Structure 1
Amino acid sequence: MRIEYIFLVLALLAEILGTIGGFGSSVFFVPLGNFYFDFYSVLGMTAIFHFSSNLSKIFLFKKGLDKTLLVYLGVPAVIFVIAGGFLSKYLDGRILEIILGIFLVSLSLLFLIKKNLVITPDKPRSVAGGALSGLTAGLLGTGGAIRGITMAAFNLEKSVFIATSAMIDFMVDLSRTFVYYSNGYIGKQELIYLPFLFAIGIAGTWIGKKILHYISQENFKKFSLILILIIGLVSIGKVLLV
């Protein structure tokens, strides 16, 4: 089976941008992977890729971990990613991608225009953000953008943002990997890429952390929102143009 090396280079870029943006690589990895593999293979690869990626982030940014947010965002995310993983076999992914894209574009524009708008990270908002990010992760392979927009709205310090998001991602990926495996999404093709994606996850996180030293807190939030806006536009465009 031929290895797609250009795909691996793009995966490294996705990991670097995902680290700098604070919400993980899947928001870039899933759309890129869809150009090379079928939708369900990409779901399986994403879950595998994120193991090394998120373990690296947890290790490198562990001092910023917010345990309260981890519970209120993380637990609903894990519960709903399992539900989303099972539902992925029955729902039309194209319609879901368009809805997700519109949602991301609308919210990212809101927070870019209303620069001083900050949402208090209370329990109901955290639970809602975690549940929605988990559901989209299970259905589409990527929930990081939803969680990213939630945490950007909370105006969290960048190390707290990245460490907490990575730990939630790790729990989500662990849960959905079993679901995807039972659905038949993880097979020989996906496992061939495992060592490559593991190395890329570590290297991309390390490079992203180095770049973050040169980005201020204000620019970090702006950069995250701009990336989410682009992801939303690409998600809509990819479905409409194909």
Structure 2
Amino acid sequence: MVEIIILFLIAAFLSILVGTVAGFGASTIFLPIALIFFDFKTALVLVAIAHLSGNIGASSFFRQGLDKKLILLFGIPSVLLTVLGAYVVVYFPQNILKVVLGLFLLIFSLYSLVRPEFHVKASRFNTVFGGGLSGFLQGLMGIGGPLRGFFLISYNLDKYTYIATISAIAVVIDLSRIPIYFANNLLDREFYYYIIPLIVVGVLASYVGKKMVNKIPQDAFKKVVLVAIIVASILLIYNGTLGG
């Protein structure tokens, strides 16, 4: 039993570490691993708690990059459209959406790597549109991080502003969904003892992630994020093609 707990917490640490550096992907990595240990409902809640803890840590450790205006313009539409996406999920074919989103992200991420000068203008419209679209897809497919990452990294933000912004938005989204999970009793009381260790691991992983980000030159940071988006897009296409 102890060995299982340790392995689970190590998986949480590594997932949040990657998510902190890239700005997204912690849940994408951690949830499939958590399903090895727990049923879906239990895994969903525990991963959400770890995700929230990691993003609170990242928001705090990268707070020098917090841009309140950008967070509001991007975050509010994202949260609102997440709810809409969750309501209309039954009307859209999930697998086709995954492939389409994956192809979009793959094409534009590869193009951005080949043409480093390419960027999306950080206008009010683009910010609201990007936040709303990523939020809608978050509610629709449970996947919004890669698209949020694409929009924000395409603004040529410095790495601290990028991570602080994307983490703060993730915190708001997590705070809106986790109480619903508990209200619906998705987590049995026998698993409550995982909560504190996951919070500690989340903060620790985000702290180590900050140390890693500090060592990545600004010029190379955007490439790191774009490569992460490319990997995420390939996984989306693969998953959608298999009907998963």
- TM-score normalised to structure 2 length: 0.85
Tell me the distance in 2 between the aligned counterparts of 1:42 and 1:142: 16
**2:181/2:187 contact within 8 Å kept:** no
> More deviation in 36-45 or 145-154?
36-45
Q: 1:238 to 1:39 in 2, by over 3 A?
A: farther
Partner of 2:215, secondary structure, is coil
Give 1:86-97 correspondences, 5 Å limit.
86-88=87-89, 93-97=94-98
What is aligned with 1:209?
210
What is aligned with 1:101?
102
**1:22/1:158 contact within 8 Å kept:** no
Residues paired across the two proteins, number:
241
Cα deviation for residue 112 of structure 1 reads 1.2
Ranges in structure 2 where 5+ consecutive residues have no aligned partner: none
Partner of 1:213, secondary structure, is helix
> More deviation in 155-164 or 132-141?
132-141
**1:85/1:176 contact within 8 Å kept:** no
What is aligned with 1:176?
177
What is aligned with 2:160?
159
Cα deviation for residue 166 of structure 1 reads 1.1
Ranges in structure 1 where 5+ consecutive residues have no aligned partner: none
What is aligned with 1:194?
195
Tell me the distance in 2 between the aligned counterparts of 1:151 and 1:111: 13
Residues 1:81 and 2:82 aligned together = yes
Q: 1:176 to 1:81 in 2, by over 3 A?
A: farther
% identical aligned pairs = 34
Max Rg structure: 2
What is aligned with 2:241?
240
What is aligned with 1:120?
121
Cα deviation for residue 85 of structure 1 reads 3.4
Q: 1:147 to 1:226 in 2, by over 3 A?
A: same
- TM-score normalised to structure 1 length: 0.85
Query: What amino acid sits opposite 2:229 in the alignment?
Result: I
The C-alpha deviation readout for 1:27-80, integer Å capped at 9, x for no partner, is 433454456556655543443222211111121111110111111101001101
What is aligned with 1:48?
49
Tell me the distance in 1 between the aligned counterparts of 2:182 and 2:137: 18
Query: What amino acid sits opposite 1:164 in the alignment?
Result: T
Tell me the distance in 2 between the aligned counterparts of 1:180 and 1:211: 33
Tell me the distance in 1 between the aligned counterparts of 2:182 and 2:86: 10
Tell me the distance in 2 between the aligned counterparts of 1:39 and 1:97: 20
Tell me the distance in 1 between the aligned counterparts of 2:78 and 2:239: 26
Tell me the distance in 2 between the aligned counterparts of 1:223 and 1:203: 21
